[in-house]
């Protein structure tokens, strides 16, 4: 079985307040065992029974000593700590799940087998002038599509793809992050609030109208299997986003491989 593409959608409205906090403040506000336990099993992190200290030991490279972890928790902010972690977005997600009240209302995840259908439909939609360049860019950036993938396409519309802001392919979500948030783990990427909204609008409209995809060798396909609803992953994503997206006030998304 291949890798799973995990799309994690979250609301920036509540989560933005987490990152500037000191760990002292976070620990004072949260008394659950995940925060207070000094249990520290190294070399792994148990998603069900792990602790904050185990998360930091697992995520920070090089692995910090017990003393260094306590130093982090007494002197650094959450954001300063997250910058030391890898995979950064995954570690942030674990923190959000523990710190946010009712995280299930502020986050949701969709697991897919691959993004090829999404990229193909979005590219065809752009060539057909159904979507704008910024919307196509949201799809391409989220899925780490590289500029050289388009060099063999020579139509006028395809040339516009080459002029998209490829130098921002690794741009993170938060101002305190740098490109290493995604670049250090090349299977990960993310979208800003505006880009995430565009991505949702594309997915929902392509699903409603069953837009066509590019065929083999990037030719035009009119077969039902070459349309949006012909890709199982596209349908799964559209239904999940249709059900959950509206409750996020300022939605963002990151994608990673699992």
> What mean pLDDT do residues 40-60 have?
94
Determine contact, residues 6/113, Cβ cutoff 8 Å.
no
* Arithmetic mean of pLDDT over the chain: 92
Has residue 161 got a pLDDT over 90? no
Determine contact, residues 183/87, Cβ cutoff 8 Å.
no
pTM of the model: 0.93
User: What pLDDT score does 213 carry?
Assistant: 94
Return d(Cα 99, Cα 15) in angstroms, integer: 9
Residue 16 CA neighbour count, 13 Å, CB half = 12
Has residue 151 got a pLDDT over 80? no
Percent of the chain whose pLDDT exceeds 70: 93
Q: Which residue has the higher pLDDT, 171 or 157?
A: 171
pLDDT tens sequence across 170-191: 999 999 999 999 988 878 999 9
SS (H, E, C) 153-170: CCCHHHHHHHCCCHHHCC
Closest by CA position to 177, among listed 68, 58, 89:
89
């Amino acid at each position: 079985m291949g890798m799973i593409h995990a799309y994690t959608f979250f609301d920036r409205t509540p989560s933005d307040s987490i990152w500037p906090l000191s760990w002292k403040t976070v620990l004072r506000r949260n008394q659950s065992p995940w925060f207070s336990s000094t249990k520290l099993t190294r070399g792994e992190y148990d998603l069900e029974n792990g602790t904050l200290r185990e998360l930091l030991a697992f995520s920070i490279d090089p692995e910090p000593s017990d003393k260094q972890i306590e130093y982090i928790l007494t002197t650094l902010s959450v954001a300063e700590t997250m910058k030391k972690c890898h995979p950064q977005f995954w570690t942030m997600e674990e923190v959000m799940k523990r710190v946010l009240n009712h995280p299930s209302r502020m986050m949701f995840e969709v697991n897919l087998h691959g993004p090829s259908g999404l990229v193909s439909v979005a590219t065809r939609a752009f060539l057909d002038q159904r979507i704008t360049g910024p919307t196509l860019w949201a799809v391409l950036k989220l899925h780490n599509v590289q500029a050289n993938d388009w060099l063999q396409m020579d139509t006028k519309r395809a040339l516009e793809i080459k002029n998209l802001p490829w130098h921002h392919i690794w741009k993170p979500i938060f101002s305190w992050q740098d490109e290493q948030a995604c670049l250090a783990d090349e299977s990960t990427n993310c979208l800003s609030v505006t880009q995430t909204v565009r991505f949702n609008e594309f997915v929902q409209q392509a699903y409603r109208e069953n837009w066509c995809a590019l065929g083999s060798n990037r030719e035009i396909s009119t077969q039902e299997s070459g349309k949006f609803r012909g890709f199982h992953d596209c349908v799964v994503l559209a239904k999940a986003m249709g059900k959950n997206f509206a409750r996020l006030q300022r939605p963002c998304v990151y994608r990673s491989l699992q």
